[in-house]
């Protein structure tokens, strides 16, 4: 018999086809149908080939499912190893102080305490630990550099002076009145200052200074509603203001070229006294 240009006996050629009932188990079948029933044999051969194809597809599908199940099981084991894993929420913040949640004035003990707390809470996540350690190391290096190269912090010094007991005791004796009252006292002492500059006398600004003392008594009494306190506060403020003004003019404030004459010193002292009396009569409580 000739098949595709080859001659051979039908009994010598077989095909190994899988059995549908036994998975991949193979069995032999004749490659050429017998001469007795060609159509029937050909149909059986086609059925066996289709069954073989279906078996291979089922085997591949089963293999894919097994691989997927194995991968799922593997990742499931990894997740079960760290069920309480928590990621540091400030891991991407660049400022080391904000990352650790501390202020820039924090001490080394506070920095170390913040670091230990965050490590204990987010220690199971390596990127979080690295971010916490990096922020801690950077802050420690900055503190070390500041100790090696100290600089004057004006804001910090001002805050320390403001929080001192002496300054708090002094500021506690003052209060801010209504805006209308501030305007009234300001106008009164500005007018006295202008009169002192425009009309200097040979005896000095004695009249204007007397008026400033009376104005101080009036404004303190008007605000505190107490004659005794007005008398004591007014007299004390006048004496302290005149002494401070004299000291400033002698030791600190240089002469002003605009004010010339024999009484220029008294005029400048009076102007400084007016300023201090205005503060006393307006804000002293």
Select the more confidently predicted residue: 5 or 216.
Answer: 216
pLDDT at position 2 over 60 = no
Higher confidence at residue 151 or residue 27?
Answer: 151
Burial of 138 (C-beta count, 10 Å sphere; 0-12/13-18/19+):
middle
Expressed as residue numbers, the domain containing 270 is 172-283
Amino acid 25: pLDDT: 42
| Mean residue pLDDT across the chain | 74
Residue 86 has pLDDT above 60, yes or no: yes
The percentage of the chain sitting over the pLDDT mark of 90, rounded to a whole number, equals 18
Q: In the prediction, which pLDDT does 41 show?
A: 52
Statement to judge: residues 231 and 273 lie in one domain: yes
246 or 259: which leads in pLDDT: 246
> Would you give the DSSP letter of residue 284?
B
Residues 240 and 144 in one domain: no
Residue 162 lies in a domain: no
Rounded Cα distance between 156 and 19, Å, is: 91
Whether residue 128 is found in the same domain as residue 226: no
The verdict on 181 and 278 lying in the same domain is yes
Same domain, 275 and 201: yes
The predicted pLDDT at position 54 comes to 61
Top-confidence residue, 279 or 50: 279
Confidence band (pLDDT; 50, 70, 90) for 117? very high
Q: How much is the pLDDT for 50? A: 58
Kindly state whether residues 142 and 191 are assigned to the same domain: no
239 and 179 in a common domain: yes
Distances (CA, A) of 66 to 1, 55, 72, 79: 47, 16, 10, 20
pTM: 0.43
CATH of the domain at 126: 1.10.287
- Tell me what pLDDT residue 108 has: 87
Give 161 or 219, the one with higher predicted confidence: 219
Cα dihedral sign, 227-233-239-242: negative
Same domain, 183 and 236: yes
Does residue 268 sit in the same domain as residue 216?
yes
Total number of domains constituting the chain:
2
Helix (H/G/I), strand (E/B), else coil: 124: coil
pLDDT at 31 over 50: no
Number of Cβ atoms within 10 Å of the Cβ of 284:
19
């Amino acid at each position: 018999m000739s098949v595709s240009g080859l001659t051979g006996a039908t009994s010598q050629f077989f095909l190994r086809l899988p059995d549908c009932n036994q998975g991949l188990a193979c069995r032999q079948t004749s490659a050429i149908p017998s001469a007795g029933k060609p159509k029937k044999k050909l149909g059986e051969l086609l059925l066996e080939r289709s069954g073989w194809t279906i078996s291979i597809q089922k085997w591949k599908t089963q293999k894919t499912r097994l691989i997927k199940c194995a991968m799922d099981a593997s990742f499931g084991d990894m997740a079960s190893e760290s069920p309480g894993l928590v990621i540091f929420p400030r891991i991407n913040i660049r400022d080391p102080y904000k990352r650790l949640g501390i202020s820039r004035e924090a001490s080394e003990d506070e920095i170390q305490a913040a670091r230990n707390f965050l490590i204990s809470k987010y220690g199971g996540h390596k990127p979080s630990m690295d971010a916490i350690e990096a922020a801690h190391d950077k802050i420690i290096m900055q503190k070390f550099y500041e100790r090696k190269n100290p600089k004057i912090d004006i804001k910090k010094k001002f805050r320390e002076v403001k929080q001192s007991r002496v300054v708090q005791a002094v500021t506690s004796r003052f209060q801010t009145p209504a805006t209308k009252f501030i305007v009234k006292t300001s106008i009164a002492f500005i007018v006295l200052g202008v009169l002192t500059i425009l009309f200097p006398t040979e005896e000095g600004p004695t009249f204007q200074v007397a008026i400033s003392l009376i104005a101080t008594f009036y404004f303190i009494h008007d605000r505190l509603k107490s004659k005794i306190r007005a008398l004591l506060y007014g007299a004390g403020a006048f004496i302290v203001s005149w002494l401070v003004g004299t000291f400033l003019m002698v030791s600190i404030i240089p002469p002003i070229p605009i004010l010339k004459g024999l009484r220029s010193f008294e005029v400048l002292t009076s102007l400084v006294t007016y300023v201090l009396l205005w503060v006393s009569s307006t804000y002293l409580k």
